[in-house]
Amino acid sequence: MIRAYAVGQVRAAEASAMEDLFDGELMQRAALGLAEVAIARLSERAGGVAVLVGSGDNGGDVLYAAAHLARADHPVEVVLVGSHAHDGGVAAASGAGVSVLEWRGGEASPEVRAALAEADVVLDGITGIGGRPGLPEHLVALPELIGEDAYVIAVDLPSGADPAGRTWSETVYADETVTFSLTKPVHLLPPTEPATGLLTVVDIGVAEPSSPAVERLTHEDVARLWPVPGPDDDKYSRGVLGVVAGGELYTGAALMSVTAAVTAGVGMVRYVGPRHPTDLLRAAVPEAVFGVGRVQAWSIGSGLDVEQADEEQLAAARDALESDLPVLLDAGGLDLIDESRSAPTLLTPHAGELLRLARRLELADADDDQVRRTPVDVAQAVADRLDVTVLLKGAVTVVVPPTSAGLPIRSQSDGPSWLATAGAGDVLAGLAGALLASGLSPLDAGSLAALVHGVAADDANPGGPVRAMDVAHQLGRTVARLLSR
Ligand SMILES: NC(=O)C1=CN([C@@H]2O[C@H](COP(=O)(O)OP(=O)(O)OC[C@H]3O[C@@H](n4cnc5c(N)ncnc54)[C@H](OP(=O)(O)O)[C@@H]3O)[C@@H](O)[C@H]2O)[C@@H](O)CC1
Ligand SMILES: Nc1ncnc2c1ncn2[C@@H]1O[C@H](COP(=O)(O)OP(=O)(O)O)[C@@H](O)[C@H]1O
């Protein structure tokens, strides 16, 4: 498990570590760790370094690192871009022979342009956890001034990114981010993770706080969470999933959800739907049974058009929502909820579906794409309003429990971009539903399903395109591989 801590927790943990250290010791450790990473990356490159320095302690880190690099015989140019700069850091860098340029406003000088265009490695120390989202006006053009082949190392976080990971903004895009002791939400959450690149955590001796704000499951967590049957189990004790998905129009959604649940090893699937998808399923998934009956959880809505759905199928969905059983709502099923339920509930919208739902609940402006700018905030607002867990799908999938649960957000980024293909969400709904039926909480079921779904997509055709049905067929083998680690 990777755990990330909110800015306030990080500051408190750093303050507590500093009580036992001499002044500036943490910054010296950070600078040395950063310099070591930069030197390792420089061993594969020609060697010129440009260092961007902001007003705060992040700028201090990078100035001391610049001094280390200069003493290791790397040509280093520092560019001060903030209203002021860390005095001790500037003195250390100058003392080590580093040339110091300034770009505090307006256009970059020819010297600054040359330093940025010619550098093989760029250290980005403009903002750290004290940064406001966005780059100041004079730095908006900065990313274009950095050479295309340069390796950009962000210090603590890519400058301009919201440290809380909540709001999208213009940022530096890093190939690698070197952070100190603690991972922060900016490194894991959807609007900011893409700017982080490879994440390297350098230990500077700051102890982990007790309750993380954000978590990420790793492959090692699968064996701990996956419901592995024992000798006393039977198909009912393992969990029966009811699937209300597909219709005369979207027959494939039913096939993909049910196939995924069966391949993921659920005890049994009961499918409820009209004639055409039922006939297809009878032929394609002989393990499934049909019609309403006793289940442990429901997966409702993939390929379901509530306006045109079969009446019996819709009645089964509404009964399920009124029951005290765990329910997953996907796609069209999201139209069926407007108040909280007493039982565990997991919603699995993609960005468009989340926006539609948030607007229906009057939690998002009609004419604004709040999901693109603040995806986690919108998911959180829906989770809180309906007292449900919201899994927002995307390249980074985030699973947001209601605030009242007091649980961390989970964020997964396991799938290749090839997974952005029709039907992949239907597979996820069957897989996550199977995990709910086995008794996992919405948070565990959603995050574990997102991990396995992403890994299976890669396993199904490493490095290449993948169709959703192949992901569904791959799930069993991927689970076996992850369990054997
Ligand atoms: N504490 C410790 O012990 C340790 C801390 N460590 C390091 O310190 C970092 C935190 O330092 P910090 O608190 O000084 O914040 P940080 O982000 O460097 O600067 C904030 C200043 O930047 C400015 N600014 C704000 N937004 C901006 C923007 N968008 N674009 C441009 N400028 C912007 C604004 O100043 P302004 O110029 O606007 O007055 C603000 O005052 C942390 O991330 C880690 O790297 C390590 O050494 C390990 C030990
Ligand atoms: N760029 C991407 N990289 C990795 N995974 C992605 C990307 N875009 C989407 N996905 C994943 O693909 C799936 C798409 O689901 P969804 O949009 O509901 O598709 P559908 O409705 O066609 O089944 C989700 O699991 C999502 O997380």
16 CA → ligand 2 middle, Å = 42
Nearest CA residue ID for atom 16, ligand 2: 425
Cα–Cα distance for residue pair 42/385, rounded to 1 Å:
50
235 is in an annotated binding site: no
Give me the mean pLDDT over the 114-139 stretch.
97
Ligand 1 binding site (Cβ under 6 Å of any ligand atom): 14, 18, 26-27, 30, 54-59, 61, 82-83, 126-132, 134-136, 155-156, 160, 180
Query: Confidence band (pLDDT; 50, 70, 90) for 44?
Result: confident
Residue to mutate (ligand 2; options 393, 410, 413; most atoms within 8 A of CB): 393
Query: Confidence band (pLDDT; 50, 70, 90) for 367?
Result: confident
Q: DSSP string of 228-280?
A: ---TT--HHHH-EEEEE---SS-HHHHHHHHHHHHHTT-SEEEE---HHHHHH
Specify the ligand 1 atom closest to the Cα of 155.
45
Query: Confidence band (pLDDT; 50, 70, 90) for 47?
Result: confident
pLDDT number for residue 325? 98
Supply angle C-alpha 243, 244, 250, rounded to 5. Answer: 115
Do the beta carbons of residue 196 and residue 158 sit within 8 Å? yes
pLDDT number for residue 99? 93
Kindly tell me if the per-residue pLDDT of 22 is higher than 90.
yes
Kindly tell me if the per-residue pLDDT of 479 is higher than 90.
yes
Kindly tell me if the per-residue pLDDT of 285 is higher than 80.
yes
E-strand ranges in 348-454 read 389-392, 397-400, 409-412
Least-confidence region, from 91-95, 197-201, 364-368: 364-368
Residue to mutate (ligand 1; options 127, 142, 169; most atoms within 8 A of CB): 127
Kindly tell me if the per-residue pLDDT of 366 is higher than 90.
no
Kindly tell me if the per-residue pLDDT of 30 is higher than 80.
yes
Share the mean pLDDT of the chain: 97
CA 270 to chain centre: 32
254 CA → ligand 1 middle, Å = 51
Do the beta carbons of residue 454 and residue 415 sit within 8 Å? yes
Query: Confidence band (pLDDT; 50, 70, 90) for 376?
Result: very high
pLDDT one-digit tens code per residue, 153-173: 999 999 999 999 999 999 999
186 CA → ligand 2 middle, Å = 22
Nearest ligand atom owner, CA of 394: 2
Among 367, 303, 359, 346, which Cα is nearest to 441's? 346
Sign, CA torsion 72/73/75/78: positive
Nearest ligand atom owner, CA of 206: 1
Helices and strands in the chain: count of H runs, count of E runs: 17, 18
Cα–Cα distance for residue pair 446/429, rounded to 1 Å:
9
Query: Confidence band (pLDDT; 50, 70, 90) for 358?
Result: very high
Cα–Cα distance for residue pair 398/165, rounded to 1 Å:
12
Q: Is 351 in the pocket of ligand 2 (CB under 6 A)?
A: no
pLDDT one-digit tens code per residue, 186-239: 999 999 999 999 999 999 999 999 999 999 999 999 999 999 999 999 999 999
Which backbone phi and psi does 405 adopt, to 5 degrees?
A: -75, -20
Cα–Cα distance for residue pair 3/188, rounded to 1 Å:
9
pLDDT number for residue 394? 97
Instruction: Tell me how far apart the terminal alpha carbons of the chain are, to the nearest angstrom.
Output: 15
pLDDT number for residue 485? 86
Give me the mean pLDDT over the 237-257 stretch.
96
Least-confidence region, from 43-52, 74-83, 179-188, 339-348: 43-52
420 CA → ligand 2 middle, Å = 4
Sheet of 151-155, strands arranged across: 99-102, 76-80, 49-53, 121-125, 151-155, 176-180, 198-202
Among 240, 167, 215, which Cα is nearest to 451's? 215
pLDDT number for residue 331? 98
Quick check: helix, strand or coil at residue 209? coil
Cα–Cα distance for residue pair 429/331, rounded to 1 Å:
9
Domains, in order of start, for the chain: 2-216 (3.40.50.10260), 219-483 (3.40.1190.20)
Residues in the chain: 485
Give me the mean pLDDT over the 6-10 stretch.
98
pLDDT number for residue 378? 97
pLDDT number for residue 128? 98
pLDDT number for residue 426? 98
Quick check: helix, strand or coil at residue 80? strand
Nearest ligand atom owner, CA of 190: 2
Nearest CA residue ID for atom 15, ligand 1: 130
Give me the mean pLDDT over the 114-140 stretch.
97
Kindly tell me if the per-residue pLDDT of 46 is higher than 80.
no
Q: Is 186 in the pocket of ligand 2 (CB under 6 A)?
A: no
Which backbone phi and psi does 181 adopt, to 5 degrees?
A: 60, -50
pLDDT one-digit tens code per residue, 302-331: 999 999 999 999 999 999 999 999 999 999
Specify the ligand 2 atom closest to the Cα of 426.
23
* Residue 32: both structure tokens together: 């040395």
Specify the ligand 1 atom closest to the Cα of 129.
43
Assign residue 232 a region: left if phi > 0, alpha if psi is -120 to 50, beta otherwise?
A: alpha
E-strand ranges in 322-400 read 327-329, 345-347, 389-392, 397-400
Name the strand (E) or helix (H) holding 69: helix 57-71
